[in-house]
Amino acid sequence: MPDGTGYAPVDGGRLYYERTGNGNPIIWLHAGFLDRRMWERPFGHFARSYDLIRYDQRGYGLSDPAEVDYIESRDLCFLMDHLGLGSAYLVGSAMGGRIALDFAADYPNRTDGVVVIAPSVAGYRPASPEEDAMWEEIDQREEAVEALAATPGPAAIAAKLDLWAPLVDAETRARLGTIAAENRDKALGRTSPHRKQTLPATMDRLWAVLAPVLILTGEQDFPVYRTVADTLAEKLPNGQHKIVEGADHMVSLSKPAEFLGLLDGFFARLDFVAMQRGTTH
């Protein structure tokens, strides 16, 4: 597949995407305070072996803001249709992980494999008062970041990085700060009222996710994300959870070599199964 950029039409707007490489397709879904550019290193690593697509969600990066109601998993379906892809592997970080799981439940026959990094899950419910209190603490820290956003300057973005990417190196932190600043409204917690969810919630229909799912969490992330990951690994038909030592919430950025190594192994196994079945792209 030749290198290329473009816009995919969706309800009421367009999504910007970038594409490069050859092989089985992998679609990369970014975290909620960044955009497609967070995947720079994986794009270089996998381009010789895979057809890579990364894109901006509505209102992020170069994609149009939402002006009509939309569902993120359906947007991804529109993107795949535009690119002529029947199915693909998906990699999603945080918010992107939630969208990947939504898509895998909504469109199981178009999902060949999924990697999710510290994902949230639509419909997830804390299992105990103690876990509920930990989620409340995270919410309070996010509210403090949002309060800083009311004043100009870099303080709010710095606090956002301190919260979610405290262990990345200085060069990566500077790059993420630039990306987050260019997506300031979204990065600092302003969710579009047009975003809707498929019902029933994905948490209540994990049985529909047929593809293998690798769930990654950082050893140094908030412990509740490991609880979510353990729950997913238990309830998904084919899920496994791996904890990445020394990583924070942004596993792909705080431990990039370890992250790429895990994906190398996971996709190689999926490729082998697809080759045996004669279903490679």
The pLDDT value given to residue 175: 98
Give 146-167 pLDDT, tens digit per residue.
Answer: 899 888 889 999 999 999 999 9
Q: Which domains, ranges and CATH numbers included, belong to the chain? A: 4-125+193-277 (3.40.50.1820)
The amino acid that residue 33 corresponds to is F
Among 208, 219, 151, 159, residue whose Cα is nearest residue 187 = 159
Q: Is 84 in a helix, a strand, or coil? A: coil
Tens-level pLDDT at each residue, the chain (281 residues): 446 999 999 999 999 999 999 999 999 999 999 999 999 999 999 999 999 999 999 999 999 999 999 999 999 999 999 999 999 999 999 999 999 999 999 999 999 999 999 999 999 999 999 999 999 999 999 999 989 988 888 999 999 999 999 999 999 999 999 999 999 988 887 778 999 988 899 999 999 999 999 999 999 999 999 999 999 999 999 999 999 999 999 999 999 999 999 999 999 999 988 777 767 66
The pLDDT value given to residue 1: 45
The pLDDT value given to residue 32: 95
Q: Which two tokens stand for residue 103?
A: 């898509």
Using an 8 Å Cβ cutoff, are 33 and 162 in contact?
no
Q: What are the distances in angstroms from CA 197 to CA 73, 130, 201?
A: 9, 27, 7
Q: What is the largest CA-CA distance in the chain?
A: 57
Give 124-134 pLDDT, tens digit per residue.
Answer: 999 999 999 99
Residue owning tokens 């939309």 = 70
pTM comes to 0.96
C-alpha span between 265 and 237 (Å, rounded): 20
Using an 8 Å Cβ cutoff, are 163 and 141 in contact?
yes
For the chain, report the end-to-end CA distance as a whole number of angstroms.
11
Rg (CA), the chain: 18
Residue owning tokens 């105990």 = 128
Residue owning tokens 């910007």 = 16
The pLDDT value given to residue 280: 66
Q: What is the dihedral of CA 195, 201, 205, 206, to 10 degrees?
A: 70
Using an 8 Å Cβ cutoff, are 232 and 92 in contact?
no
C-alpha span between 208 and 212 (Å, rounded): 12
